[in-house]
Amino acid sequence: MRLLLLACLRARTGNATTAARIQNHLHAAGHICVLKDAFMYESQTEIANLISTDKFDGALAIHLYKGGRLLQGSRIPFGIIFGGTDVNEDVKCEEKHRVMGAVLEEARFAVAFTVKMKELAAAEWPDARKKIHVQTQGIKTTPKETFDWYRFLQNAGIPTDTDSLHVFLLICGLRRVKDPLYLVDVFSDWHRKDPSIHLGIIGPAVDPLFTSEVKEKVKRAPGVHLLQEMPQDDLHAAMKRCFAVVNSSISEGMSAAILEAMDLNVPVLARNIPGNAAIIKHKETGLLFSNPQEFVVLSKSLMNDPIMEKEIVTKAKDYMKKHHSWESERKAYENLVLRLQ
């Protein structure tokens, strides 16, 4: 089949990574899968013309509202993949709620990354429950073997002459829902008392206005560094060398950065929100914090207890093998697209 995959394709964001992975799975199954950025299209008519011109047999979209609404009334069968924004944010808007319900009604199938996400969606659109499949994200990390950690630290403005560095990485697109400034003040206070503590914020400037706000805040925050986005293999290598990966989002569907850290045997400290709690069991596969002060307390306990750190990363890796197999995800999408024939 010749398939269209609509997604928000801002480089090095979770959506773009997920879309590329699904495209790879479908190519492996013998289909032709063409990725298109949903933000490049404004109407269903534009997508209908694209489908007609490029002779697509079926389509997929990530996000019911951002991508799925463009496939409404399509002359080809389509499936849909929930994004965290769908069930956490867009559902609160009456018009978006109506549109997403209509998209679900037309879709041959829908995919939710977690049971929790499926339940939230099924509560809003009960008639769609039977067509919603739970398929977690499959993760395969690719750390670059020749990565220069010291150059990375120097580029970040982190001194390399300190005996015991503790570098935390917060990986996210710079937009408000990811809340990268949530821990900045508490990190700076901690850094003043212990200069070995550093926070690196890495990610694309998704929201230019908010990015300016982040830059201004970080300039005045000792121990906090805003880093350029980087290719995935470099990022994975940097994650392997850091002390812990941090997530401070207000809302998440399923954070690829958290899963990648767990796969790389790196401890994760994440804000206690439903999307994060769905994949992290507190003090078993990671640490969940509810406020900045608790974050510092948990971080210190992790730094002072290497046995706990080892247990957490071991259990997290076991969890990844069991629940986030890249091979299982590939088989799932190979089977799901057969519903579009």
Distant-in-sequence, close-in-space partners of 42: CB < 8 Å, separation ≥ 6: none
Q: Domain 149-323 belongs to what topology?
A: Rossmann fold (3.40.50)
Q: What is the mean pLDDT of residues 118-145?
A: 94
pLDDT at 102 over 80: yes
pLDDT at 61 over 80: yes
Helix (H, G, I), strand (E, B) or coil at 30: coil
Segments in the chain forming alpha helices (H)? 14-28, 44-54, 84-88, 94-106, 115-124, 149-156, 184-193, 208-219, 232-241, 256-263, 274-277, 292-303, 306-323, 326-336
Mean pLDDT of the residues in the chain: 94
Say if residues 113 and 92 touch (Cβ distance below 8 Å).
no
pLDDT, tens only, 223-248: 999 998 899 899 999 999 999 999 99
* pLDDT for res 162: 66
Confidence of residue 48 (pLDDT cuts 50, 70, 90): very high
Q: What is the mean pLDDT of residues 303-325?
A: 96
* pLDDT for res 83: 87
Say if residues 5 and 23 touch (Cβ distance below 8 Å).
yes
* pLDDT for res 33: 97
Q: What is the mean pLDDT of residues 118-130?
A: 95
Q: Domain 2-138+325-340 belongs to what topology?
A: Rossmann fold (3.40.50)
Q: What is the mean pLDDT of residues 184-194?
A: 97
* pLDDT for res 206: 86
CA-angle at 32, arms to 27 and 34, nearest 5°: 100
pLDDT at 12 over 70: no
pLDDT, tens only, 192-224: 999 999 999 998 888 999 999 999 999 999 999
Partner residues linked to 227 by β-bridges = 202
* pLDDT for res 334: 95
pLDDT at 302 over 90: yes
The share of the chain scoring above pLDDT 70, in percent, equals 99
Q: What is the mean pLDDT of residues 98-113?
A: 96
Region of residue 319 (left: phi > 0; alpha: psi -120 to 50; beta: else): alpha
| Domain range summary for the chain, segments of one domain joined by + | 2-138+325-340, 149-323
More confident residue, 277 or 75: 277
What's the burial of 88, exposed, middle or buried (CB within 10 Å: 0-12/13-18/19+)?
Answer: buried
User: Identical fold at 2-138+325-340 and 149-323?
Assistant: yes
pLDDT, tens only, 90-100: 999 999 999 99
pLDDT at 164 over 80: yes
CA distances from 115 to 199, 206, 249, 288 (A): 32, 28, 20, 19
| End-to-end alpha carbon distance in the chain | 8
Say if residues 340 and 108 touch (Cβ distance below 8 Å).
yes
* pLDDT for res 338: 95
Please give the Cα distance from 167 to 178 (Å, whole number). 20
pLDDT at 337 over 90: yes
> What is the edge-to-edge ordering of all strands in the sheet holding 32-37?
32-37, 2-7, 58-62, 78-81, 109-112, 132-134
pLDDT at 74 over 90: no
What is the secondary structure of 73-129 as a DSSP string? T-SS-EEEE--HHHHHTGGGSHHHHHHHHHHHHH-SEEEESSHHHHHHHHHH-GGGG
Q: Which of 202, 212, 216, 182 is nearest to 292 (CA)?
A: 182
